[in-house]
Chains A and B, each alone.
Chain A
Amino acid sequence: MSMTTPTGELDRRAWVVQVMGWAVERAARRLTGLAEHDVCLNAGGDVLLRAAPGRPAWRVGVENPGRPGELLDVLERVDGAVATSGTARRGAHIVDPYARRPAEAVRSVTVVGPELLWADVYATAAVARGADALDWLAALDGYAALLVDAAGRVRATAGWPGTRHRGRVGAGR
């Protein structure tokens, strides 16, 4: 993931991605240390959660990028992180560092795994990566992903814990 703009300046937005996952994980330590409490922390769509042994799993909805407000899938998790990057809320704001233009081949990527920082980084990097993002996501150890491309085609990596592994969503934007 590039940390500089095409003109060579430091791209602070790239750091925002890193800082967000890092800060949320640090903040969550205060909550996960509470006895007899389960924790679900949602920072602008990126989710970190934990349920104590024997407690019911958290149910995490994955937003449909074609129709924000509706759900694409539902995951049951007892710990770890769920992070989503894409164009649904802010348009094509992630830049392909090689083509040096906004990445638009992938509309949305949701990554599930043990750490929010890396789930967030992988999801954003996959959107920037574009066409071969699913193969790249499938090779990540310990993380699984659900991808929606620009045409609305839905695909998941082998380890995706949800019920939706392929299909289509509306064209949307």
Chain B
Amino acid sequence: MGTRSGAGARAPQSVSRRGFLKSMGLAAGTAALPPFVAGQEADGAGAIAGLRVLGAEAQAFALTVNGELRTVTAAPRATLLDVLRNQLGLTGAKEACDRGACGGCTVLLDGVAVNSCMTLAVDASGREVTTVEGLAAEEPVEGLCAHDGAQCGFCIPGFVVRGRALLGETPRPTPGEIRAGLAGNLCRCGTYTKIFDGLLAASGQAVAETANGSAALENEGARVEIREKVTGAAKYTADIRREGMLFGQFVRFPFGAGRVVEWDVEAARAVPGVVEVEMYEDAREARFVGHRIGHVIGETPDAVEDAIEALAVRVREDGSRTRASEHHEGPPALEGDAARQLDEALQGAAVIVEGTFTTEVQTHSCLEPHGAVVEMGSGRAEAWGSTQACQGFREGLQGPLGLEGPRITFHCEHVGGGFGSKFGPGPQGRLAAEAAVRLGRPVQVMNDRRGEHLDGGNRPGSIQHWRMGADAEGRIVGARLFAANIVGFEAGGGEVNLCDVYRLGPMVNDQVEISLSAGLPSPFRAPGFPQGSFALESMIDEIAKALGRDPLEIRRINATSERRVAQLDRGAGLIGWERRRPDGTWPGRVKTGFGCGQANWGVFGDGCQIEVQVLRSGRVEVYSGAQDIGTGCRTILVDVTADELGIPREGIGGNIGVSTYPPGPASGGSVTSRLVATTTRDAAIDAKRQLSALVAAEWGVEPERVRLGGGLFREDGGTRTAEWAAACSLISEDRLTGQARFDRAHTGEGDTSNTQFAEVEADTETGIIRVKRMVTIQAGGQAVNRLTFENQMCGGVIQGISFALFEERTLDGPTGGMLNANLEWYKIAGSMDIPEIIPIIDKTDADTGVRPIGEPTTIPTAAAVANAVANALGVRVWSLPMTPARVLAALEQGGRA
């Protein structure tokens, strides 16, 4: 039973930590092993009775998949996931972590849920394999479809398969059993709440209703593409398979900084199935862990990996910058006007509180990696990219392809998470394009999980020194922030941002950056804000503590908006704020605490075109070249059109993510919903106007006298009516097209305020924090779809909890290697870490326009959790994530910053 690998058998060699050659390829510096052993004869094969020797080569064998007997040809090393996706075209099972940590690849093997990425395909021969595609008629499919159990949707097929097994084992699972049963599936968007609801419904149990019954235009239906996502039919860039497609991958520097000493290109080129190997001379001096020092393109991902190993790259680690604290000198003394102003302001303070906060680097960890597929045609190209900016991605491909935009047909109909990190084509898209041109074959380049952590963007870390004064009534009179932002190997991307939710008086805000030998930051859902919110909201609570006041009173006194004061009152009632005890006084070792945080967001963005096509059949198709990063862009097209035309949403199609559609905005800054909703309504109005004109002509009346309501055309002041379908049959050509361009004047009224409350349990013996309940109250103007709105709110909270408790990039201090570049040691919140979440859509009659919610809904979560932890413990944890190590240290130090 021993998996005794032979590493220990090699002769020990002397390697000191710095300055010496370090091996990257296995063969370097060790007894040379053939990198690829296929083709060798198995020693002693056939000599052992009862031993069925399969060898190493590709071979045909039978697999029973979804009840059908299929013949596949694969080497023994091929995983079941590889064969399902690359030979059988069953791409519902996803490769996200490739190590059994995320569950995206889950299939049933003889009815038992397993990770297909950790199962050899040959071992599945003779057994019943069931993939998500084989479960379309089984629960929990309907449950998840009814309850909007998907955002980006990339992870959802894995949840469906595991959910199927769970319902088989436990037909009526409790909420706790559902969480435990799904503990092997990760969702980065934070859809857990709706997945739990879907499983409850699928098992015939009641799902608690939210308080948002009629807050939205559409209050019953889920996102329009929910079934495609739940059944695994939705195709992401990672799922695209083209005839003759090649796979590309970068060779990466394994340490923080240093020199690439040597490599063996010939050995790599000799690996069967390898098409192109290139090492980059200009990357000899590597500057960050994950630095792209070359690339390999081959017929299969395995061939590419074999070649990277055969390269036997030798590197010298030297001069890695890995620990921010070693490069941080603290806040400089204030001088001049700024110093005088702050001094004057703080003179009126009854209390002055100070603290130093730190937050760690957080990687986006999109479950679909960054990547692209590019295929050249004659004077044309077709491309697929995993992106939140279809237009920008296509523009970025023009140079590498040498083609003008319209000659590139670009697709991104589904994207497996972006969170701010997926705009242009990036290195993956550029390599795919250049290689497709060079090699004349379709090329797919997707980051592997390690590359995704190293080089897929991140939220920079921060060290924040705060000083804040308040008068005896609790009014804040002045504040000072000095922030050092922990960024990548080049300057840029680091900033702590603050929501304008409290009057802070005169404020001095200086920021610098600390560069480490690591990947560059990229925008991450509310860039700079969660880290700023954590510190600001903590300071508010420290002011309250210093004055002996309730933290909510301090928020009310300093509030910049009555809307948020009302949210405070409502949230306090929902969380049970009256149960909150003075700091640290909850009895027992495990202490309950309550905390609060608030946020808002700006309203900006421009540029969006929409077409609403009304077909003669009465069917309506709405088109936008925008993409859906999981927020429900298609659903906005459909539900706004349905609302404007008064026809059922089932008769309307939402079409996005293709470059031939009218240009849409990039999804950054939470702009998409507002731009798309506003423009869709205008385009629907245009279509309605044209259709009304046809009806008016038919009736021989002035167009102004034709009114459409509830799907019925009426003559104003007359008796004539026409059903929707009858009116559409008047269209003389194939269709009529309503068009609109975004008009700022049509965006209506709305607010973006968010208030959150957390209830936590803090174990003072172990330092382990568990979030028990969260209340999130989000204004968003006129909500379009209740379920997608709630789903996104809960997702914001879940990402915030993950940031508050778990996420931390770990660089090796001496060498700068990233030690947790996987989904095993880089921890994102899983099902058992998800509290009960109460999402409240804060909608008033004055709210008429669609407003952004994606970012404000995640900003104050970590702050609310941190304040709840401080209340429970009686000491503050000044650093995120609040790991057991940090919590125990805070208890030991008595909470001093």
**Is the A/B pair a real complex?**
no
Question: B residues touching A (Cβ–Cβ < 8 Å)?
Answer: none
Q: Please give the residue numbers on chain A whose beta carbons come within 8 Å of chain B beta carbons, in ascending order.
A: none
